Amino acid sequence: MLSEYQKKVLLGLSAVLSLRMFGISMVFPVFTLYAGEFTSVPFLLGIAFSGYALTQAIFQIPFGYLSDRYGRVKILFAGMLIFSAGSFLAAFPQNIYWLIFARFLQGMGAITSTVIAFISDVFQDEVRSRAMAIIGIAFSLSFSLGMPLGSYIAGKSGVSAIFLITGVLTACSSVLIISTLKDKRDKGYAIESRNSKILNGLKTPNLLKMDLAGFISNFNLLAIFFIMPVVLSRYLVLEHFWRILLPMVITGMVISYTSAHFGDKGWRKEAGLAGFVLFIAGGMMLVKLNSIDSALFLFLVFTVMFSGFSILEAILPSMLTKIAHEDTVGTASGAFNMMQFMGSFMGGVVGGMLYFKSTMAFGLLIIFISAVGALLVMSIRKTEVSSMIPESM
């Protein structure tokens, strides 16, 4: 059972991550048109669209380290204020460079690693995966619902309204953080004496494997969501995308929570393997994407891929907190999330370009890197992650 404070933390952290992703995803289906009002240069359009993921990657480790030193709550508060400021700036750009700067500023509020570290501080091992899954469900729901809702808001009130709504909601959540949450660990302890241990810890083989697995998982996700509006538009108008997205999200929720339950029983590695196997299966279906004219087939492809991501989004961070030393979990989470966002940045750019050149090559790439991800997860040594040994039933 969760304590009252754990429930409060779970609700607060779910709201923080969900509101951030909600704001980011709402602009996905309309952002190119918005940026196109200021420039027609494809490179600048691309930087404006995906720049937030790049700065997210860059600032994950610094924010994780700062949370180890100064406490989780202060860093969460600062990160949300930075993201809110970027959102307000993006609502009233004077030119494309203003908009690019605003998107970079949004990404600088890189709090994901701090959230994972906060979970590690507050939740015991036997419920940690479940807590990750609940946050992951809220995150996934906000991501999926944000896209169709964003197109509706943009059509009624303009894209600027999306950024204004995002700025207000994230500013309110920062006030909620500072007023209701408190740290559950001592901060600023013996930082100077353990700097070398932090650096050495980040170089351990198991942590590097986790970082690469996170890169692959997010690469696959952003590559799929980059092509999703293009493919779905063959069969549905934008306001009807929910007919695919809603059942896809519900399926992902169920699978995510189920995998988290098995993870809490000690089957983390096996659950992680299942996530990458689903990615491989999705890649096999992507190879045939243009040769099978069926909306049902599209639903199966996206649901399989999203379910694979949903499993890994719950399992990988939980595995990470078991591998990393408790004194450096914030910094290790920062490295992990840096690689996740680099995967997001590269997935949207490389995956998207490859899809328009060859659907088969796109699917084969997903298959290959997912197979690498499966091997990475299975090669993590159980002697360093004792909780991966299954409990007796």
Q: What DSSP letter does each residue of 138-179 carry, written as one string?
A: HHHHHHHHHHHHHHHHHHHH-HHHHHHHHHHHHHHHHHHHHH
Look at residue 95 in the predicted model and tell me its pLDDT.
Answer: 95
Residue 247 lies inside a defined structural domain of this protein:
yes
Within-domain flag for 246: yes
Provide mean pLDDT across the span 54-73.
84
Structural domain contains residue 345: yes
How far apart are the C-alpha atoms of 99 and 85, rounded to whole Å? 12
Helices assigned H by DSSP within the chain:
4-26, 31-35, 42-70, 72-91, 96-108, 112-122, 125-157, 159-180, 195-202, 205-232, 242-264, 268-287, 295-323, 329-346, 352-357, 359-378
Asked if the structure places residue 269 within a domain, the reply is yes
Distance CA(251)–CA(302), nearest Å, equals 11
Domain presence at residue 392: no
- The per-residue pLDDT for 325 is 66
Burial of 389 (0-12, 13-18, 19+ CB in 10 A): exposed
User: 281 with 304: CB under 8 angstroms?
Assistant: yes
What percent of the chain has a predicted confidence (pLDDT) above 90?
A: 23
More confident residue, 82 or 54: 82
Mean pLDDT across 250-265: 78
Number of domains, the chain: 1
Q: Which residues contact 251 (CB under 8 A, 6 or more apart)?
A: 303, 306, 307
Give the separation between CA 319 and CA 120, rounded to whole angstroms: 11
pLDDT average, residue stretch 61-88: 89
Range of the structural domain that residue 32 is part of: 4-182+194-380
- The stretch 230-234 carries a mean pLDDT of 77
pLDDT tens readout for residues 12-37: 888 888 888 888 888 877 777 788 78
Over residues 350-387, the pLDDT tens digits come to 776 777 778 899 899 999 999 999 999 988 875 444 33
pTM assigned to the model: 0.75
> For residue range 116-133, what is the model confidence (pLDDT) as tens digits?
778 878 887 777 767 877
CA neighbor of 10 nearest in space, from 133, 110, 170, 94: 133
CATH number at 133 reads: 1.20.1250.20
Residue 188 in domain: no
Per-residue pLDDT, averaged over 206-213, amounts to 89
Across 238-260, average pLDDT = 78
pLDDT mean over 212-219: 93
Q: What is the pLDDT of residue 327?
A: 61
**DSSP structural state of residue 288:** T
Identify the CA nearest to 333 among candidates 108, 68, 77, 130.
68
| Cα 283 to Cα 177: distance, rounded to the nearest angstrom | 40
Distance CA 5, CA 8 (A): 5
* Neighbouring residues of 48: CB distance < 8 A, sequence distance ≥ 6: 31, 35, 96, 99, 100, 103
Calculate the alpha carbon distances from 156 to 21, 25, 159 in Å: 21, 17, 9
Let me know if residue 387 belongs to a domain: no
pLDDT the model gives residue 178: 84
Is the torsion defined by CA of 335, 107, 353, 140 positive or negative? positive
HSE-CB of 342 using CA atoms within 13 angstroms = 17
Domain membership flag for residue 324 = yes
